[in-house]
Amino acid sequence: MLHANLKTPLGTAVISGDENGISSISIFDDEREISSIIPDELQEVCQQLQDYFNGKRIDFTFKLNPSGTEFQKRVWQGLLEIPFGKTMSYQELSVKLGDVKAIRAVASANGKNPLWVVVPCHRVIGTDGSLTGYAGGLWRKKWLLDHENPVKQQSLF
C-alpha cells in the first residue's frame, strides 16, 4: 500500500492506494508532514484533489478501491451519483437505494465512507435541510457545501 500526504484548505489529506485504485482518503487537523515525493500511482489523485480545491474540478476520474460490505459499497455508489453542487437527504438516498426504512443503515454506511471528498458523503443532509453528523466535523461539511455551491456570492468591493 502506498501513501501520500497532501495539504488542503481543510487539513492534511492522507491518501492510500496502489495500482488497483485508491482505498482511502482521510483528513486530519494535525500538521502531518506533506509528501515531497508522491508515488506514481497516487499522483493523479493528488492533482485532481488540488484541482478540486482550486475550483477547477467538479468530479474525480481515478480508480477507487475501497474496502466495505456490499451494502456499504451500494451506499457509496449512491453517494457518487449526487451531482456536484446538489444535496440529498438520508431519506431520499434510502428511497433511491430501494428501502425507505434503511435510513439508519444508510447513515451508518455514509459515516464509514473511506474516501473523503471523492465519495461525497458531505452532500447528504437532514430531511429538514440541516447539516447532520459528519465524520470530518460539521465545519468541514459546511465548507465543502459552500465550495460546491453553484451560486457563490460575489463581492461588490
Contact 58, 82 (CB under 8 A): no
Catalytic residue among 22, 93, 102, 121: 121
Clarify whether 46 is annotated catalytic.
Answer: no
Q: What percent of the chain has pLDDT over 70?
A: 96
**Which residue has 435510513 as its cell numbers?**
103
How do residues 85-103 score in pLDDT, each as one tens digit? 999 999 999 999 999 899 9
Residue spans of the domains in the chain: they are 2-53, 70-148
Distance of CA 71 to the CA centre of its chain: 18
Q: What is the mean pLDDT of residues 114-132?
A: 94
Q: What is the dihedral of CA 112, 138, 12, 143, to 10 degrees?
A: 120
pLDDT at residue 151 is higher than 70: no
Confidence of residue 136 (pLDDT cuts 50, 70, 90): confident
The answer to whether the beta carbons of residues 15 and 25 sit under 8 Å apart is yes
- The mean predicted confidence, pLDDT, of the chain is 93
Q: Is a pLDDT exceeding 90 seen at residue 152?
A: no
User: Which CATH number, 3.30.420.40, 1.20.1730.10, 1.10.10.10, 2.40.340.10, labels domain 70-148?
Assistant: 1.10.10.10
Look at residue 153 and tell me whether its pLDDT is greater than 60. Answer: no
What is the dihedral sign for C-alpha 80, 81, 85, 90?
negative
Instruction: Give the integer Cα–Cα distance in Å for 129 and 27.
Output: 25
Neighbours of 69 (CB within 10 A): 10
What is the reported pTM? 0.91
User: What's the pLDDT tens digit per position in 39-77?
Assistant: 999 999 999 999 999 999 999 999 999 999 999 999 999
